[in-house]
């Protein structure tokens, strides 16, 4: 039995991942605002530190894998705090316990939104580790109804770039820990339910996220991939953002490879 820490375990992709792992007999420590083994707010430094300390204590100091799913898609600065800092700071805080595992792994949920327009200064502030600056920029964007949406793709672009950089560092590759990201298309979860409920909302989503293969995807399609990425079978994948998105990336980026 391996011990997995899964963030966002109370809903959507995180819940599907926790369920899949439990069905295979693995030990899951969920982290979420409510309805999880560890209840913590990953939008704040104190919440991240609490979450890491509680998870490590529950795991008796040995964590085999971390799967970070918690996130929001709102056009506000807090999106960067949760989607980027809530992932990168938590993973960093859990590293000592991962190092105690015989086959440590980590995977995070990014998005096909990495391919959408971003605010470069916001991405740079996040990658520099400057949360105060990132929040200030995000707040400015949020004041303009035409620009607020940039908070979400910027958070995911920064996250995928962080994964790419960190994955080959002494902390991760050097310690034998594969670190990768998954980029879903449009997943049917509570996050997208309201938008997909109206024909106008669904049409807007489909225009931005073309999915020629099987259209909207269930959370289980992402859970299966996350579980493989964090299994001992994954020995050589590092720094990738794996687009599991019904063909959205192949459609939008075409030959850009
Ligand atoms: P969801 O809304 O169903 O679940 C997200 C979970 O994260 C919730 O349980 C929520 O309580 C938790 N969470 C939010 N803020 C938190 C905080 N401050 N501290 C701790 N936990 C917090 O959403 P879904 O769809 O399962 O999304 C999971 C991940 O997948 C997110 O990172 C999202 O950006 C990403 N994603 C989702 C897509 C979709 O179409 N649903 C598409 C691409 C990426």
Domains and CATH numbers, the chain: 3-116+155-246 (3.40.50.720)
Instruction: Tell whether ligand 1 has an atom less than 6 A from the beta carbon of residue 45.
Output: no
Predicted TM-score (pTM) of this structure = 0.98
The alpha-carbon radius of gyration of the chain (Å, integer) is 17
How far is the centre of ligand 1, averaged over its atoms, from the C-alpha of 8 (Å)?
Answer: 6
Please tell me if the CB atom of residue 221 comes closer than 6 angstroms to any atom of ligand 1: no
145 secondary structure, DSSP code: T
Half-sphere exposure of 138 (CA within 13 A, CB side): 27
Q: What percent of the chain has pLDDT over 70?
A: 100
| CA–CA–CA angle 132, 83, 65 (5° rounding) | 120
Q: Which of 4, 84, 152, 243 is catalytic?
A: 152
Distance from Cα 136 to the centre of ligand 1, integer Å: 23
Q: What is the pLDDT of residues 219-232, one digit of tens each?
A: 999 999 999 999 99
State pLDDT tens for residues 152-193: 999 999 999 999 999 999 999 999 999 999 999 999 999 999
pLDDT bracket for residue 257 (50, 70, 90)? confident
Please give the DSSP secondary-structure letter assigned to residue 44: S
Atom of ligand 1 nearest to the CA of 191: 2
Please, what's the b/e burial string for 239-255 (b: 16 or more CB within 10 A of its CB; e: otherwise)?
bbbbbbbbebbebbeee
Q: Is 138 in the pocket of ligand 1 (CB under 6 A)?
A: no
Active site residue 243: no
Cα 124 → chain centroid: 18
Ligand 1 near 52 CB (within 6 A): no
Q: What is the pLDDT of residues 80-120, one digit of tens each?
A: 999 999 999 999 999 999 999 999 999 999 999 999 999 99
Q: Is the dihedral of CA 150, 118, 108, 187 positive or negative?
A: positive
Question: Coil, strand or helix: which one is 117?
Answer: coil
- What is the pLDDT at residue 103? 98
Which of 24, 172, 184 lies closest to 99 in space, CA to CA? Answer: 172
Burial 187-200 (b: 16+ CB within 10 A, else e): bebebbeeebeeee
Are the CB atoms for 80 and 155 separated by under 8 Å?
A: yes
The per-residue pLDDT of the chain, averaged, comes to: 98
Letter string b/e over residues 120-145, b meaning 16 or more CB atoms within 10 A of that residue's CB: eebbbbbbeeebeebbebbeebbeee
């Amino acid at each position: 039995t391996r011990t997995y820490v899964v963030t966002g375990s109370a809903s959507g992709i995180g819940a599907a991942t926790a369920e899949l792992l439990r069905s295979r007999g693995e030990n899951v420590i969920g982290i979420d605002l409510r309805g999880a083994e560890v209840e913590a707010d990953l939008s704040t430094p104190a919440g991240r530190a609490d979450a890491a300390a509680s998870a490590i204590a529950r795991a008796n100091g040995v964590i085999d894998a971390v799967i970070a799913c918690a996130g929001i898609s709102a056009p506000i600065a807090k999106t960067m705090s949760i989607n980027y800092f809530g992932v990168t700071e938590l993973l960093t805080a859990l590293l000592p316990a991962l190092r105690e595992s015989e086959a440590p792994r980590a995977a995070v949920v990014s998005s096909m939104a990495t391919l959408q327009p971003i605010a470069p200064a916001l991405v740079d502030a996040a990658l520099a580790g400057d949360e105060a600056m990132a929040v200030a920029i995000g707040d400015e964007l949020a004041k303009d109804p035409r620009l607020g949406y940039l908070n979400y793709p910027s958070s995911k672009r920064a996250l995928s770039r962080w994964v790419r950089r960190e994955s080959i560092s002494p902390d991760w590759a050097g310690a034998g820990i594969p670190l990768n990201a998954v980029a879903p298309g449009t997943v049917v979860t509570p996050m997208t339910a309201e938008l997909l409920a109206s024909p106008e909302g669904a049409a807007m989503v489909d225009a931005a996220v073309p999915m020629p293969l099987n259209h909207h995807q269930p959370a289980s399609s992402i859970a299966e991939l996350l579980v493989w990425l964090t299994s001992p079978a994954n020995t050589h994948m590092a720094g990738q953002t794996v687009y599991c998105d019904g063909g959205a990336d192949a459609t939008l980026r075409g030959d850009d490879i």
